[in-house]
A and B are shown apart, each in its own frame.
Chain A
Amino acid sequence: MKRISRRKLIISAMALSILAAGIIGGRRLHINSPGYGLPYQARFTPDVEDRWTALGGAWEIVEGAMRNDANDRGAKLLMGSPNWKDYIVEADVQLQGEGSVGVLARVSDAEVGENSFKGYFLGVRTVDNSLVLGAFDFAYHEVARVVLPNPVRPLRWYHVKLKVDGCQITAYASTQGMGEVKTAPLNDPDCFRSGAVALRSNGTGGIWRNFRVIPVDSVTADACAAQTILPSAAGSSQGALSQSTGEGAPSAPIQTIRSLSYLPPFGAPPASIRGSVIMIRPAVYVQDSTGGVEVQFDNATTLKIGDEVEVTGEIDLDKFSPVIRKARFRLLREAPPVSPVVLTANQVAEAQYDSRFVQVEGYLRTMSAENDGAITLDLDAGAQSFHAILSPGRSRSLLQRLAQESRLRLRGVSVVDARFNKEADPFVILVRSPEDVEVLAGPPWWRPSTLILASLTFITLIFIFNHLYLLAKHWRLRAIADERERLANEIHDTLAQSFAGIGFQLQAIRNSLPHGDERLKSQVDLAISMARSSHVEARRSIADLRPKSLGPASLLLALREFAERMVKNGNLTVEAYGADGGRTAPPRIKDTLYLIGQEAIANSIRHAAPGMIRIRLQRNREFIRMSVEDDGRGFIADNHHTGFGILGMRKRAESISATLTITSAPGSGTRVEVKAPIRPRLLLGLWPHPRFSATRDI
């Protein structure tokens, strides 16, 4: 019965495993299918757009559009499946300066770097006022170029659309007042067959909106070319931004940023500086080789990270760090962003790098989301502690990605200004984008949560191992017991029967012998005696080989039956009382009580000549109490009258931590009481199962 159950269990487990593997495999197949996730329409809101991966640039979601505020060469922002095949990717794009912006299709093997990916690019470019279609395989190959009727200008929206259908690649562009322009289709038999999509800018920042990806088979060929989402975008070519404020010559002599600290500390003296823009949001910072400074413009600007600018304004020296207020700027050059200065937290805390772009490492203590959506990281670094602040937007994804006590590398602008430094830290790092937070190492394994989990796993493993060990031991003992049972049966069926038969035959011979042949009779008697003796020996062996465990039977019933067998056909009365809690008692305790009970009953019948034997059994949560009482002649219950039977009972009682009490007096009967504690159930598994133990002390 049990074997059948186990087989059923194994079959069920296998079926479940196959089902689970099927579900997982099916899901994987679905995810890897060319159409998974399509069509896709980007919403560019912080709460949903966390699937994008930036490679270069400073990307952020602002007012329903994705922006790259840095002049990186070849900044990319990827999303989608590497298995996407035939689709149309389109978006409204806007240049923030001189360079190119557009979209990528069938992107694979992408890395940080200008040409470091495989895929197709469609974009608008200022240098030659053209719509360009190109292929990248870690080198750029321009495939088609169409000069647009009007010059390509920054801060103007263009709608670009790239269709990849098999090995035919087609590009379209349109803008307000221009109509649609289309490149010649590229037919490349060795084309890239599949890949993700991306936004890309080169040499300048850019803005993207109305981005979507739709499968080619969901639109007709004609509709594809005619389809445009431009009307919703075309009317706002200037957006909320104003053109750079080229002001000509500065109204104050150019000086280094460090020298701003040496200006008269009152009266807001005018000053002009030149430097590179290192941050746009939440504040504009400009740095030169001597230091950095916050610049406050009265109006929004189109500055990008990397821009080299000349800034003129009034110097406010009231705070720890100088600030240029009422600033005007002149764009000198669009340049790639400057690299961070690599520092320790102690060095940053010295404030000599205040308002500069730095890279620093620390251990994440806590992180939190502010009401405005900004993410604040609380970090420790040796003797220093500091905060890092990420602007609202894409940084929300960090909350899932970062674990406490991780070692982080941060790039950002170091500031001590109280506007950001609310906790009075030595400094705060203003991080430009989530990509500027790099996890160098996860939390250490000896964290309390890990230790607790490991301990629980270890304890569970110990229990499993112990259970398996006991199971193996159980099987082994059962095999031994089975073999002993088989031997006992064998002896019973062969030797014992034969001895009995021999005895009968000899007895028959003995009965048929004539009178007077005493010598022969005595020899036959001897043979009969030997056969009987061998028969007894065989029966003893059978008895020894057979297990004497009580098994699942009721203890009370077993003792009663034993007593009744002992007094069969006699005048002795056997009474048994008590709820039979022994049925659920631990086997070892039950067996031991049974043996003690047998001994007590046997002693009573043999020595006390009782008229009645009363067996009681009582059980609660803590102990089992068993008593055997008679009304026989009794004895003096002291140490001088202790025989082997009583000694055996005591030893058996001790083996289960039970107490044995014998109450008796001459003429007053005898009462044997055993009180055995029940061990906690948790430990039961640790006890060897006695049913199959080959104990010989019974």
Chain B
Amino acid sequence: MSARISVWAPCVILLALLGGGAYWIGARRSPAVPTIAFIPQTAGAMLWEVEHLGARTAAERLKLHLYWNAPTSENDMAGQVMLIDRVIRGDYQGLILAPNHSRAILAPLRRALAAGLPVVVISAPLDFPASDRLGYIVNDDEMMGEIAAAEIARITQGKGSIAIVGLTRYAPGVMERARGAERLLASRFPEIRVVSRVGGAYNAARVEELTNDVVDTHPELKAILSFTAVSTRGVYAAIKSRSLQKDISIVGCEQDSDLIGYLGAGEIAAIAAENTYRMGHDAVELISASWAGKPIPARSVTPPLLITKQNLNSVEASLFISFPR
């Protein structure tokens, strides 16, 4: 027995050492084609799939691999943190991130930078300083708020009661949209009165409940301005259930396939859309350029587009709402 052990033990140890060494060498070896990890707020939604399309187009042109994964919902902060940590541990040469939380993502972002990954944060800025290895490509959120508010003003002819929905401080970009919208309304349309401001950026059921309360409290309401796709879905559900689509106009932010459908049916007045295609495309290019030693620009801003029934089928709008084939 002991003789058998004495024969096998060195063999097992040798095999383990060989296996470990091979794994280590394999793990250390850089792949022939570099891979960029792309983690949006969530997947399957038009807003992010358009971005996926932009990133994929750039990656194919540059002959790169793209790893694309996201939490199953916009408010799954822990899921996004877990994905970032997986990217940090894995064999990736860059990270593109659309954070779903403005604070909770800071610690993993710092870890990613410490691990040497070039990072581009897209959609909304974070309270984290840019550097040669960290840049932002953001939506012009104040402008998005302004064009949405301008559409509200057009619909209401510059007067009447409106509600603002989807305010959440930790949702990236939302408060900037609110600031842009309210500033425009206060300065140019003083006869428009904001009678209610409610939260719920990432909770459609909660927004539906709050919208019902607002409608009950303010029967004179003429329009609702909503700042996220999720909150717009909640607003739409409340208005639809009361058959008030003709009486209360909805202007939302962030493109979404359902909302685009409602827009085409005339049940939603307008949607201010982010140019996520451009953001995804440019982010891949910036990461690729950083490998050649080019610093990532601190901040690039992409303008939004207001999509209405009139321009829904335009070429310009198609870039904002096309799903990848």
Q: Which A residues fall within an 8 A CB radius of B?
A: 258, 261-267, 317, 320-321, 346, 349-352, 354, 383-386, 416, 418, 424-427
Q: How far is the CB of A491 from chain B (nearest CB, A)?
A: 48
In chain A, what residue has the closest Cβ to B165? A262
- Give Cα A384–Cα B81 distance, bound, in whole angstroms: 9
Partner of B167, one of A262, A320, A321, A354: A262
Tell me the B160-198 residues at the A interface (CB within 8 Å): 164, 167-170, 175, 178-179, 182-183, 186, 194, 197-198
Inside 8 A of A263's CB, which chain B residues have their CB? 197
Q: Give 29 CB contacts A-B under 8 Å.
A: A261-B168, A262-B164, A262-B198, A262-B199, A263-B197, A264-B186, A264-B194, A264-B197, A265-B182, A266-B179, A267-B186, A346-B77, A346-B78, A346-B81, A351-B102, A351-B103, A383-B81, A383-B82, A383-B85, A384-B104, A385-B107, A385-B110, A386-B107, A416-B103, A416-B127, A424-B110, A424-B128, A424-B129, A426-B106
By the criterion CB–CB under 8 Å, are A261 and B127 in contact? no
If A262-B167, A320-B170, A424-B106 are given as contacts, then 19 extra A-B residue pairs at C-beta distance below 8 Å, sorted by A number, are: A261-B168, A262-B197, A264-B186, A266-B183, A320-B102, A320-B103, A320-B127, A321-B169, A346-B78, A346-B81, A349-B77, A349-B104, A383-B85, A384-B81, A384-B107, A416-B103, A416-B127, A425-B107, A426-B106
- Give Cα A266–Cα B175 distance, bound, in whole angstroms: 11
Inside 8 A of B127's CB, which chain A residues have their CB? 320, 416, 418, 424
Tell me the B127-176 residues at the A interface (CB within 8 Å): 127-129, 164, 167-170, 175
In chain B, what residue has the closest Cβ to A264? B182
- Give Cα A255–Cα B103 distance, bound, in whole angstroms: 26
By the criterion CB–CB under 8 Å, are B101 and A351 in contact? yes
By the criterion CB–CB under 8 Å, are B106 and A383 in contact? no
Given contacts A320-B127, A320-B169, A349-B77, contact A425 B106 (CB under 8 A): yes
Q: How far is the CB of B2 from chain A (nearest CB, A)?
A: 26
By the criterion CB–CB under 8 Å, are A351 and B170 in contact? yes
Inside 8 A of B81's CB, which chain A residues have their CB? 346, 383-384
By the criterion CB–CB under 8 Å, are B167 and A261 in contact? yes
By the criterion CB–CB under 8 Å, are B85 and A349 in contact? no
Inside 8 A of B82's CB, which chain A residues have their CB? 383
- Give Cα A350–Cα B104 distance, bound, in whole angstroms: 6
- Give Cα A416–Cα B107 distance, bound, in whole angstroms: 13
Tell me the B250-297 residues at the A interface (CB within 8 Å): none
Partner of A265, one of B85, B175, B198: B175
Q: How far is the CB of B299 from chain A (nearest CB, A)?
A: 16
Partner of A352, one of B106, B170, B175, B197: B170
Inside 8 A of B179's CB, which chain A residues have their CB? 265-266
Q: Which 9 A-B pairs have the closest CB atoms?
A: A262-B197, A349-B104, A351-B170, A426-B103, A265-B179, A385-B107, A383-B81, A351-B103, A424-B128
- Give Cα A349–Cα B78 distance, bound, in whole angstroms: 10
Tell me the B96-120 residues at the A interface (CB within 8 Å): 101-108, 110
- Give Cα A321–Cα B170 distance, bound, in whole angstroms: 9
Inside 8 A of A266's CB, which chain B residues have their CB? 179, 182-183, 186
Inside 8 A of A320's CB, which chain B residues have their CB? 102-103, 127, 169-170
- Give Cα A424–Cα B104 distance, bound, in whole angstroms: 11
By the criterion CB–CB under 8 Å, are A350 and B182 in contact? no
- Give Cα A386–Cα B77 distance, bound, in whole angstroms: 16
Inside 8 A of A351's CB, which chain B residues have their CB? 101-104, 169-170
Q: How far is the CB of B3 from chain A (nearest CB, A)?
A: 30
In chain A, what residue has the closest Cβ to B198? A262
Inside 8 A of B199's CB, which chain A residues have their CB? 258, 261-262
Inside 8 A of B194's CB, which chain A residues have their CB? 264
- Give Cα A349–Cα B100 distance, bound, in whole angstroms: 12
Q: How far is the CB of B290 from chain A (nearest CB, A)?
A: 21
- Give Cα A55–Cα B103 distance, bound, in whole angstroms: 34
Interface size for chain B: under 10, 10 to 19, 20 to 34, or 35 or more residues? 20 to 34
In chain B, what residue has the closest Cβ to A263? B197
- Give Cα A373–Cα B28 distance, bound, in whole angstroms: 45
By the criterion CB–CB under 8 Å, are A350 and B175 in contact? no
- Give Cα A213–Cα B20 distance, bound, in whole angstroms: 68
Inside 8 A of A427's CB, which chain B residues have their CB? 103
- Give Cα A146–Cα B312 distance, bound, in whole angstroms: 85
By the criterion CB–CB under 8 Å, are A383 and B182 in contact? no
- Give Cα A631–Cα B104 distance, bound, in whole angstroms: 95
In chain A, what residue has the closest Cβ to B181? A265
Inside 8 A of A350's CB, which chain B residues have their CB? 77, 101, 103-104, 170
Inside 8 A of B102's CB, which chain A residues have their CB? 320, 351
- Give Cα A314–Cα B217 distance, bound, in whole angstroms: 26
Q: How far is the CB of A271 from chain B (nearest CB, A)?
A: 13
Q: How far is the CB of B56 from chain A (nearest CB, A)?
A: 28
- Give Cα A96–Cα B167 distance, bound, in whole angstroms: 40
- Give Cα A424–Cα B130 distance, bound, in whole angstroms: 12
Inside 8 A of B167's CB, which chain A residues have their CB? 261-262
In chain B, what residue has the closest Cβ to A321? B169
Q: How far is the CB of A380 from chain B (nearest CB, A)?
A: 9
In chain B, what residue has the closest Cβ to A426? B103
Inside 8 A of A424's CB, which chain B residues have their CB? 106, 110, 127-129
Inside 8 A of B106's CB, which chain A residues have their CB? 424-426
- Give Cα A265–Cα B198 distance, bound, in whole angstroms: 13
Inside 8 A of A264's CB, which chain B residues have their CB? 182, 186, 194, 197
Inside 8 A of A384's CB, which chain B residues have their CB? 81, 104, 107
In chain A, what residue has the closest Cβ to B194? A264
Q: How far is the CB of B177 from chain A (nearest CB, A)?
A: 10
Inside 8 A of B183's CB, which chain A residues have their CB? 266
Inside 8 A of A425's CB, which chain B residues have their CB? 106-107
By the criterion CB–CB under 8 Å, are A426 and B186 in contact? no
Q: How far is the CB of A492 from chain B (nearest CB, A)?
A: 51
- Give Cα A418–Cα B106 distance, bound, in whole angstroms: 13
Most chain-A Cβ atoms within 10 A of its Cβ — which of B105, B169, B179?
B169
In chain A, what residue has the closest Cβ to B197? A262
Q: How far is the CB of B318 from chain A (nearest CB, A)?
A: 33
By the criterion CB–CB under 8 Å, are A426 and B169 in contact? no
- Give Cα A385–Cα B108 distance, bound, in whole angstroms: 9
Q: How far is the CB of A345 from chain B (nearest CB, A)?
A: 9
Inside 8 A of B169's CB, which chain A residues have their CB? 261, 320-321, 351, 354
Inside 8 A of A261's CB, which chain B residues have their CB? 167-169, 199
Inside 8 A of A386's CB, which chain B residues have their CB? 107
Q: How far is the CB of B308 from chain A (nearest CB, A)?
A: 26
Inside 8 A of A258's CB, which chain B residues have their CB? 199
- Give Cα A258–Cα B206 distance, bound, in whole angstroms: 15
- Give Cα A266–Cα B102 distance, bound, in whole angstroms: 21
In chain B, what residue has the closest Cβ to A345? B107
Q: How far is the CB of B268 from chain A (nearest CB, A)?
A: 23
- Give Cα A460–Cα B129 distance, bound, in whole angstroms: 52
Q: How far is the CB of B103 from chain A (nearest CB, A)?
A: 4
By the criterion CB–CB under 8 Å, are A383 and B108 in contact? yes
Inside 8 A of B105's CB, which chain A residues have their CB? 426
In chain A, what residue has the closest Cβ to B176? A265
Inside 8 A of A262's CB, which chain B residues have their CB? 164, 167, 197-199
In chain B, what residue has the closest Cβ to A383? B81
Q: How far is the CB of B131 from chain A (nearest CB, A)?
A: 12
In chain B, what residue has the closest Cβ to A384? B107
- Give Cα A321–Cα B169 distance, bound, in whole angstroms: 8
Q: How far is the CB of B189 from chain A (nearest CB, A)?
A: 14
Inside 8 A of A354's CB, which chain B residues have their CB? 169
Tell me the B74-105 residues at the A interface (CB within 8 Å): 77-78, 81-82, 85, 101-105
Inside 8 A of B103's CB, which chain A residues have their CB? 320, 349-351, 416, 426-427
Q: How far is the CB of A289 from chain B (nearest CB, A)?
A: 16
